[in-house]
A and B are shown apart, each in its own frame.
Chain A
Amino acid sequence: MKFLEASRRVHASNPSKHINLLVASSANLANLDIYLKAEFVERDFRCHVDYLPFNTLPQYLVAPAVNTEQQILILFPWDFLPELDWRTGITESEPDFDECLTRLDEFEQLVSESNHLCVYVDAPTPPVFISLEKDKSIKRKLRQSANGLCYVLFDADVFNLGSYLESGIPLSGKACGLIAAKITKKLNLENQIACKILVTDLDNVMWHGVIAEDGYQAIQCSPSGRGYTHFIYQTYLKKLKHSGVLLAAVSKNDPDLALLPFVKNEMVLNDSDFVTIQASYHPKSNQIKQISKELNLNVGDFVFVDDNRLEIEEVKRAIPDIKTVLFPESSQYIGAFYAELTQNFNIQQVTTEDQNRTSLYRTRLAGLTSSDSQGSDLTQFLQKLNMTITINIRSHGKNERALQLFNKTNQFNINGIRLERDELDQKLISGYTLYTAGVSDRYGDHGEILACLLDDKKNIEMLVLSCRVFQRRIEYFFLRWLSTQLKPQIKHRLQLLYRETERNTPVRHFFDENAIDYSGEMVSIDMTKVLNDIPDLDSLFKLMPID
């Protein structure tokens, strides 16, 4: 991305999220600023970039900032060895070679302990050693260190010595776009942009034509002529669905007309590929809110696609948290459209649950309880579901789904902590215990929908429950089962690590009702008291033997 394009994107956009980024470097990287902001905007983040004060990199590495959401370290050769800095000139007396190697190792150690995303610019260095062999040796050692430390390495051609000498700015203007793109890609912001459902318009998006005006026979979505881009769109949606993204459709149409092409089953997509197809003459924002309510998904997890700017604006105005993408009028913009659309979905690994997610949610809709069902009505409804729970210990493998649940669940998530694979493995090696629970009912199997990680003192460090099985008392049943298992150690009192997040309101409600000590990070729950309040728990579930 070039400068003007970056500038336009930053000023023309209105991202829905905000993020703070600290760029830690000894150099002045002011010309990188607009490119970084533009890359973040592309990922729906307004980014505030901070830089270290001049000459404070070593201090920062000893005591890094703890309250910045994202931090990157951009290093140059002279950060390892100050003698290599062009701006200080070449020292008359030759530095001690072995001492240089020692200091280089020390700096490498310091950086490795800081645990940052680390970027290295392999800038040319002045000949500080008269001996060519020593000079080469130091440069080789530098590259080795950088290779070991850094996730992103840039060649010398991104460095501009003239600019560095004149103004202290080392990065070439024409390399800034590339540098910002690589850095933001490595920051893995996609983990924070994992939308769960794509809601699509139908006319002139799903197919070419307006079905109410042109008729079913006239709409086009086959791989030829004007239907081609719509054919591609359908194949893309099919792929998303297969990867676990839910599909829904909204249309200002008569329901029978909107459904007709799907029922005819002559397109790539058919009725069963969607969790719901809504057609009415209500505003599309209302239709989307209804889907959000029925599926119990946050509107921030929705991406809306429409070819009509007015519809996009109407939805965006009514639901500011939703992501919207304009379906292009011309095939010329198809590439950019898919690039924009794809970045909303974080698909790294596809599990069996992902592949079956649409049918699981369709199952949920079929067995949907009214959101205001309470008390005995709810108990009776749940009893009729004939739910069976399977609880598994996943401390020794088969825990991909648990990891996925920890990293994707926002609402019933007691603290919002995310885990990398190696972090989970390390915890399990050090004595943590991992449980999952799966549930099936009269409508089908929902797969594994709960994950719980206990630390070595039997405190609950992580607990998540998929939103598709809310309001079923599963969390109560699982915690009751767990407290029974741990009875000798905990005496019915469970301790959970709680942190309020922007999205975990259901957890707060759960604790409001059930916690007895709610002051610090560790929340206590007396399961005896909880179970007295829910006497019919056993009548709701059948527990399968542990796997």
Chain B
Amino acid sequence: MDADNQTILEDIFRAVFELDETDRIESIKRNNFPAWDSMAHVALISAIDDEFDLIMDTQDALRIDSLASCISVVERYLN
């Protein structure tokens, strides 16, 4: 994934989970971050759909549990 798209994903994470610039997004996992509940997950997928103009499949959406997995899933759609 190119740097611009990765920045967009990082910005989405910061906006959805209300993170500061200093927070390390890479360390956030769905199972270790209480703010990442089902509603936040839906908001995350909705924001990604909007920013990248795609409609993510439910199975792909469920695979996302970190920034790394998110980059991997979105990259497939962009390619």
Contact = CB atoms under 8 A, between A and B. Distances in A.
Interface of A: 2-4, 7, 30-31, 34, 160, 162-163, 165-167, 169, 171-174, 176-177
What are the 6 A-B residue pairs with the smallest beta carbon separation, nearest first?
Answer: A173-B46, A173-B49, A31-B46, A3-B47, A7-B15, A173-B50
11 contacts: A2-B51, A3-B12, A4-B8, A31-B46, A34-B15, A162-B57, A162-B58, A163-B58, A167-B41, A172-B46, A173-B48
Contacts of B43: 30-31
A14 B50 CA distance: 25
Contact of A2 (B38, B45, B50): B50
Secondary structure call for the B interface: helix
Contacts of B41: 167
A316 to B, nearest CB: 26
Contacts of A172: 46, 49, 55
A34 B62 CA distance: 23
Interface of B: 8, 11-12, 15, 38-39, 41-43, 45-51, 53-55, 57-58, 61-62
B42 A160 contact: no
B47 A173 contact: yes
Contact of A3 (B50, B54, B58): B50
Nearest to B52: A174
Secondary structure call for the A interface: helix
Contacts of B12: 3-4
B42 A4 contact: no
B4 to A, nearest CB: 12
A124 to B, nearest CB: 14
Determine which residue in A3, A166, A167, A177 has the highest number of CB atoms from chain B within 10 A of its CB, and name it: A3
B15 A162 contact: no
Given A31-B46, A162-B55, 10 more contacts: A2-B51, A4-B8, A4-B11, A4-B12, A4-B15, A162-B58, A162-B61, A171-B46, A173-B48, A177-B50
A390 B43 CA distance: 61
Contacts of B53: 174
Contacts of B49: 160, 172-174
A171 B46 CA distance: 9
Given A4-B11, A4-B12, A166-B61, A160 B50 contact: no
Contact of A30 (B39, B51, B54): B39
A67 B51 CA distance: 36
Contacts of B39: 30
B15 A176 contact: no
Given A3-B12, A7-B15, A172-B55, A163 B50 contact: no
A155 to B, nearest CB: 15
Contacts of A162: 55, 57-58, 61
A410 B12 CA distance: 42
B58 A165 contact: yes
A3 B15 contact: yes
Contacts of A2: 50-51
B51 A4 contact: yes
Nearest to A1: B50
Nearest to B46: A173
B19 to A, nearest CB: 12
Contacts of A166: 58, 61-62
B38 A167 contact: yes
Contact of B50 (A30, A167, A176): A176
A176 B57 CA distance: 18
A174 B50 contact: yes
Determine which residue in B46, B49, B54 has the highest number of CB atoms from chain A within 10 A of its CB, and name it: B46
Contacts of B15: 3-4, 7, 34
Contacts of B54: 174
Contacts of A31: 42-43, 46-47
A5 to B, nearest CB: 9
Contacts of B57: 162
A30 B47 CA distance: 12
A167 B42 contact: yes
Contacts of B11: 4
Contact of A169 (B8, B46, B51, B62): B46
Determine which residue in B53, B55, B62 has the highest number of CB atoms from chain A within 10 A of its CB, and name it: B55
A4 B52 CA distance: 11
Nearest to A160: B55
A286 B57 CA distance: 59
B58 to A, nearest CB: 4
A176 B51 CA distance: 11
Nearest to A8: B15
Contacts of A167: 38, 41-42
B30 to A, nearest CB: 14
A30 B42 contact: yes
